[in-house]
């Protein structure tokens, strides 16, 4: 059993959008759509006592995925390693899952007319390596890691972060988004406000 997930260290992220573009190029995706969107959260507060950070959001491979519930054809499935994947043969491109996703992580590819989202690029990632978004990240902020068997660097990251581990919060109850966000270094007032976008991980 493996639990693949992306760890994103928000203390590192510099908002350069390299992950977004690497992903688009790797998937020769039509322009104008994105599998990873780098949001800017903030700045909150009043100048110069402010807080902000960048937040790359991709498919969260939720424990209870709303997209899966919304899918009328059964094209959206959860596979044995917990990833939420789309079978393009079964997808009719209706877009219900796009509506259902609280994180805006899905889109309907206007060329292929099927829904698509981040699948951790398992096919494009060399054995023991990192997917294109992580490999290209200028800040080294993204890592693909198996939570059940984390590599040494990821374990150190998770350990060092301590309490400062977060998952995305959604209005639709506890759907169990999977990406782990780390954020320790926020010296400015307003951290509480920033953290409102997250829920503490229970792990």
For residue 183, the SS3 value is coil
Which residue among 3, 4, 45, 195 contacts other proteins (CB under 8 A)? 45
**Does residue 24 interact with other proteins by CB under 8 A?**
yes
**Does residue 141 interact with other proteins by CB under 8 A?**
yes
**Does residue 68 interact with other proteins by CB under 8 A?**
no
CB of 173 to other proteins, least distance (A): 25
What token pair was written down for 101?
């996703």
**Does residue 117 interact with other proteins by CB under 8 A?**
no
**Does residue 85 interact with other proteins by CB under 8 A?**
no
Which residue among 34, 61, 83, 178 contacts other proteins (CB under 8 A)? 34
Buried b (16+ CB within 10 A) or exposed e, 104-125: ebbbbbeeeebbbbbbbbeeee
Binding window for other proteins (CB under 8 A); candidates: 82-90, 165-173, 180-188, 195-203: 180-188
Distances, alpha carbon 134 to alpha carbons 6, 9, 103, 144, 155, in Å: 9, 11, 20, 7, 17
Nearer to other proteins, 77 or 108 (CB): 108
What token pair was written down for 175?
């759907």
Distances, alpha carbon 126 to alpha carbons 4, 104, 129, 143, 144, in Å: 15, 28, 5, 14, 12
**Are 193 and 159 a contacting pair, CB within 8 Å?**
no
Can you give the binding site for other proteins, defined by CB under 8 A?
9, 11-12, 14-18, 20-22, 24-26, 28, 30-34, 37, 40, 42-48, 50-54, 107, 110-111, 126-130, 132, 134-143, 153, 156, 185-188
């Amino acid at each position: 059993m493996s639990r693949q997930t992306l760890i994103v260290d928000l203390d590192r992220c510099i908002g350069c959008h390299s992950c977004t573009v690497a992903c688009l190029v790797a998937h020769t995706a039509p322009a104008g759509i994105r599998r990873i969107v780098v949001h800017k959260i903030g700045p909150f507060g009043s100048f110069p006592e402010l807080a902000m950070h960048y937040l790359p959001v991709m498919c969260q491979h939720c424990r209870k995925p709303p997209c899966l519930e919304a899918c009328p054809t059964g094209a959206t499935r959860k596979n044995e390693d917990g990833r939420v994947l789309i079978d393009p043969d079964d997808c009719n491109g209706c877009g219900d899952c796009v509506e259902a996703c609280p994180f805006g992580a899905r889109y309907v590819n206007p060329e292929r007319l099927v829904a698509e989202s981040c699948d951790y690029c398992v096919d494009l990632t060399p054995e023991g390596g990192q997917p294109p978004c992580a490999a290209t990240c200028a800040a080294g902020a993204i890592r693909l890691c198996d939570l059940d068997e984390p590599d040494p660097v990821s374990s150190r990251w998770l350990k060092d972060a301590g309490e400062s581990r977060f998952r995305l919060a959604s209005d639709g109850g506890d759907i169990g988004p999977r990406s782990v966000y780390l954020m320790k270094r926020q010296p400015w007032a307003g951290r509480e406000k920033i953290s409102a976008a997250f829920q503490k991980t229970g792990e």
